[in-house]
A and B are shown apart, each in its own frame.
Chain A
Amino acid sequence: MAEVLILGAGVSGHTAALHLRRLLGSQHTVTVVSPNSQWNWIPSNIWVGVGEMAKKDVVFPLAPVYARKKIGFHQAKAVAIRPKGDADDPRGAVDIEYTLPEKAGTTERLRYDYLINATGPKLKFEATEGMGPGGHTESVCTADHAVEANHKLREVIEVLKTGKPQTLVVGTGHGTCTCEGAAFEYVFNVDHELRQAGVRDLARVVYLTNEAALGDFGVDGMVFDQQGFQTTSELWTGSLFRERGVEAIVGTHVHRVEERTIHYETLDGTSHTLEFDFAMLIPPFGGVPLQAYDAEGNDITSELFAPSGFMKVDADYTPKPYEEWRAEDWPTTYAAPGYDNIWAVGIAFAPPHQISKPRKSPNGTVIAPSPPRTGMPSGVMGKTVAMTIADRIKHGTSAAPHTASMARMGAACVASAGTGLTKGSAAAMTMLPVVPDYQRFTTGRDERETRGELGLHGHWVKLMLHYLFLYKAKARLGWQMIPE
């Protein structure tokens, strides 16, 4: 009998749990530890944030799904990993602290034979003074944040209806943020809502981003083949900004936010202030804080984790300049170095470096989008590691690992730009691979598969993905037929 422990029940952790349960016999246990009681289809938080969907449409309780699938579930947060066990037992262990209201604060030590760290991000609002739901800006990173963002947006729309102009700012806060695609989606959904309310002419809508150029999306931008000509995602997205009348400010790092004022620096080193009435700014992500100890109780956190808090895996972390970055730097198996039974997937793994060219202002401020590793790639990593573990359990520890490098896999990014079955719109992009490989492709990516399209069909795709992935996550009949 083998015990598999999974920390985190987001896209990657939940995917890994369902596949492991499918692949392993009932004599083996699969257990998930997550501080959240609900699963959240995060891409649709955008629609919650503009009132087009309710919170209940994007979340569902995890416990009934895990009970039905015979997956163990602890509503708790992991606080420490003991990869070599402790004085009582040499098997690996994880210390957890319950967040389940009835057991809140109580701790337990869980043993494992195989461990997947899929803890996702820590939302580091504190990296920017005055930012976040406790400060002066909104967020759509969680369903509850999105509900609150919609309340604030409605207040601003009511003010606009009185004829008073308002400034709405959407984008990224810290210079090292990721998830620019979410900010991009939200700004165009806000624009759409303002038009629907008939108040767009009184609203100034500003997109404030750490991307050095529009269309970078933290993946170094894309080159598309459009009717026989190469065009860039910068020009393509610039067209949408111009068409919708959304102002764009790029290469920014927000230093602090005061009530109705954003203080930020741009890549040229100059400082600026921007007055606002409504702001939604994405925070930077860090690893969920976890300590690591050896069997004697010595702290080995720096051995397992990068300073950012993300777990080190089979990537090449040798510092090197942008020009020397290679596809081979990226991990393929997601195994933690030195341990043949620990993996980190999704946002939890430490990337070797950014994907976009890193930049600094003359003042030394780092303004460099972090690599996105959510959605499709997260799900693929979760399934890949689940298959590796299942093979190890069934065929022995010498079974070859499955691989899924972000420098080989593709991803679809469907950025909603307004809702409605006949009036909706979205920027639908595909890229292959996610991490550009300039040794294989002159533009970094396969031009046949790397495309960008705008239109109503993009909204249909986004809506289809919403229902498909909720169905899959609920492990309904045939869920495994739906690709990650």
Chain B
Amino acid sequence: MAQLSMHEPAGGGNPVLDLSKAPLPTAKTLGARRNLWLQFWRFVAFDLRIMRMVIKGHH
């Protein structure tokens, strides 16, 4: 897996990851993650993907 340069020891004696480069979701993204209508379709899409994997990958 590609390594990102997030590992920078912080103070306090514990090498806590520096996550300041990790992307923060925008207000639009956070809203989409709670939007019932959008999430319903993501739910359907995810279930279909699981079923496709079952058919493709099992046996």
Contact = CB atoms under 8 A, between A and B. Distances in A.
A402 B58 contact: no
A296 B50 CA distance: 49
Interface residues of B, number: 37
A234 B51 CA distance: 26
A402 B57 contact: no
Contacts, number: 131
A457 B41 CA distance: 8
B39 A270 contact: no
Given A239-B22, A239-B24, A402-B59, A456 B7 contact: no
Contacts of B24: 239, 242-243
Nearest to B55: A483
Interface string A366-399: 0000000000000010001000000000000000
A270 B22 CA distance: 25
A174 to B, nearest CB: 18
Interface centre among B3, B14, B39 (most CB of A within 10 A): B14
Interface string B1-35: 11110110000011111011011110000001110
Nearest to A268: B15
B36 A455 contact: no
Contact of B46 (A215, A243, A457): A457
| Secondary structure of the B contact surface, majority rule | loop
Nearest to B22: A238
B43 A461 contact: yes
B34 A249 contact: no
A451 interface: yes
Given A241-B19, A242-B24, A456-B36, A234 B59 contact: no
| Secondary structure of the A contact surface, majority rule | mixed
Contact of B1 (A234, A266, A428, A432): A234
A384 B59 CA distance: 8
A475 interface: no
Given A234-B1, A404-B58, A451-B49, A250 B17 contact: yes
Contact of B3 (A234, A404, A454): A234
A403 B22 contact: no
Interface residues of A, number: 58
A224 to B, nearest CB: 12
Interface in A419-441: 422-423, 425, 428, 430, 432-433
Interface string A436-454: 0000000000000101011
B39 to A, nearest CB: 4
Contact of A457 (B23, B40, B53): B40
Contacts of B7: 250
A403 B57 CA distance: 11
B19 A238 contact: yes
A23 interface: no
Contacts of A53: none
A86 B1 CA distance: 50
Given A404-B59, A461-B46, A242 B22 contact: yes
Contacts of A249: 14-17
Contacts of B54: 410, 483-484
Contact of A432 (B2, B19, B23, B53): B53
A232 B49 CA distance: 20
Contact of A425 (B6, B14, B33, B47): B33
Given A234-B1, A273-B13, A410 B23 contact: no
Contacts of B2: 223, 232, 234
Contacts of A63: none
Contact of A484 (B25, B47, B58): B58
B40 to A, nearest CB: 7
**7 nearest A-B residue pairs (beta carbon):** A221-B1, A410-B53, A238-B22, A455-B33, A457-B43, A410-B57, A457-B42
Interface of B: 1-4, 6-7, 13-17, 19-20, 22-25, 32-34, 36, 39-40, 42-43, 46-47, 49-54, 56-59
25 contacts: A213-B1, A215-B1, A221-B1, A233-B1, A234-B4, A235-B4, A238-B4, A247-B17, A248-B16, A250-B7, A272-B13, A408-B57, A410-B53, A410-B56, A411-B53, A412-B50, A432-B53, A433-B57, A449-B49, A449-B53, A455-B34, A455-B39, A456-B36, A460-B43, A484-B54
Given A238-B19, A456-B34, A461-B46, 7 more contacts: A220-B1, A248-B19, A380-B58, A380-B59, A410-B58, A454-B33, A456-B36
Interface of A: 206, 213-216, 220-223, 232-235, 238-239, 241-243, 247-250, 266, 268, 270, 272-274, 380, 384, 402-404, 408-412, 422-423, 425, 428, 430, 432-433, 449, 451, 453-458, 460-461, 464, 483-484
